Chains A and B, each alone.
Chain A
Amino acid sequence: NAGVTQTPKFQVLKTGQSMTLQCAQDMNHEYMSWYRQDPGMGLRLIHYSVGAGITDQGEVPNGYNVSRSTTEDFPLRLLSAAPSQTSVYFCASSPHRGSYNEQFFGPGTRLTVL
């Protein structure tokens, strides 16, 4: 199993550009999430999904869109990039096991918006 994969690893955008961060998992996990990590801070939840076709907002959803058309993929779209979106983005997945709630994280995408 490759686990959770994210592409690209690094990206530089200009203000106003749009792009999609890709996330895929091959563990057949129901739950997937997107977090951003800013220097000296923990991970803040952007959007999450409990299954194909179902998404919901997290703590910091503004400026981001998601969709979940398949179990495996959960792309994150930046609609019009702003310097405040410079961050490291992590995708995570977890199985639905009731009380067993371990999340598996991808290696991250480091995004700089100029």
Chain B
Amino acid sequence: GQQLNQSPQSMFIQEGEDVSMNCTSSSIFNTWLWYKQDPGEGPVLLIALYKAGELTSNGRLTAQFGITRKDSFLNISASIPSDVGIYFCAGQDGINAGKSTFGDGTTLTVKP
């Protein structure tokens, strides 16, 4: 089946630093999504990308859909303590939104 490789697995950063994480796939996706999961909660969508090359921002978050359609990255600028959590990338290869392939997540720790 499809596999997503998400890196890094974990990050420990100082408040105010910028963060970058990425996902690569062995196959092409039509949609890339980035989610954040707080402890004890379900994932919440941060950014959705629908076109190769697309660059989208949501506040301090910026994500890009790779030109090859096999990769995506997420940047967080000027991190704050509430950015702590697990960030997941997810890819979809069709219009069926019920079928997403998720990466294993990047656990972010922000030290004040």
A-to-B contact residues, CB < 8 Å: 4, 31-33, 35, 40-45, 48-50, 58-59, 90, 92, 94-96, 98-108
Checking B6, B9, B95, B102 against A44 with a beta-carbon cut-off of 8 angstroms, the contacting residue is B102
Which parts of B51-104 form the interface with A (CB within 8 Å)? 88, 92, 95-104
| Chain A residue contacts of B31, Cβ below 8 A | 99, 101
User: Across the interface, do B88 and A58 meet the contact criterion of CB distance under 8 Å?
Assistant: no
User: Across the interface, do A31 and B43 meet the contact criterion of CB distance under 8 Å?
Assistant: no
Within the complex, the shortest CB–CB distance from A44 to chain B, in Å, comes to 7
User: Across the interface, do B88 and A102 meet the contact criterion of CB distance under 8 Å?
Assistant: no
Main secondary structure of the interface of B (DSSP, over half): loop
Checking B6, B40, B95 against A101 with a beta-carbon cut-off of 8 angstroms, the contacting residue is B95
CA distance A95 to B45 in the complex (A): 14
User: Across the interface, do B100 and A105 meet the contact criterion of CB distance under 8 Å?
Assistant: no
User: Across the interface, do B42 and A105 meet the contact criterion of CB distance under 8 Å?
Assistant: yes
CA distance A100 to B9 in the complex (A): 28
CA distance A44 to B100 in the complex (A): 9
CA distance A103 to B42 in the complex (A): 11
User: Across the interface, do B43 and A48 meet the contact criterion of CB distance under 8 Å?
Assistant: no
User: Across the interface, do B41 and A42 meet the contact criterion of CB distance under 8 Å?
Assistant: no
Within the complex, the shortest CB–CB distance from B25 to chain A, in Å, comes to 13
User: Across the interface, do B43 and A49 meet the contact criterion of CB distance under 8 Å?
Assistant: no
Confirm or deny: B21 has a beta carbon within 8 angstroms of a beta carbon on chain A: no
CA distance A98 to B1 in the complex (A): 23
User: Across the interface, do A31 and B103 meet the contact criterion of CB distance under 8 Å?
Assistant: no
By beta carbon, the residue of chain B nearest A108 is B42
Looking at A42, A100, A103, the one whose CB has the most chain B CB atoms below 10 A away is A42
From known contacts A40-B104, A42-B4, infer whether A48 and B42 are also in contact, taking CB-CB under 8 Å.
no
User: Across the interface, do B48 and A102 meet the contact criterion of CB distance under 8 Å?
Assistant: yes
Within the complex, the shortest CB–CB distance from B33 to chain A, in Å, comes to 7
Can you list 29 contacts pairing A with B, beta carbon distance less than 8 Å? A4-B42, A31-B97, A33-B98, A40-B9, A40-B105, A41-B104, A41-B105, A42-B4, A42-B6, A42-B103, A42-B105, A43-B88, A48-B99, A50-B96, A50-B98, A94-B97, A99-B50, A99-B95, A101-B31, A101-B33, A102-B97, A103-B33, A103-B45, A103-B100, A104-B45, A106-B42, A107-B41, A108-B40, A108-B42
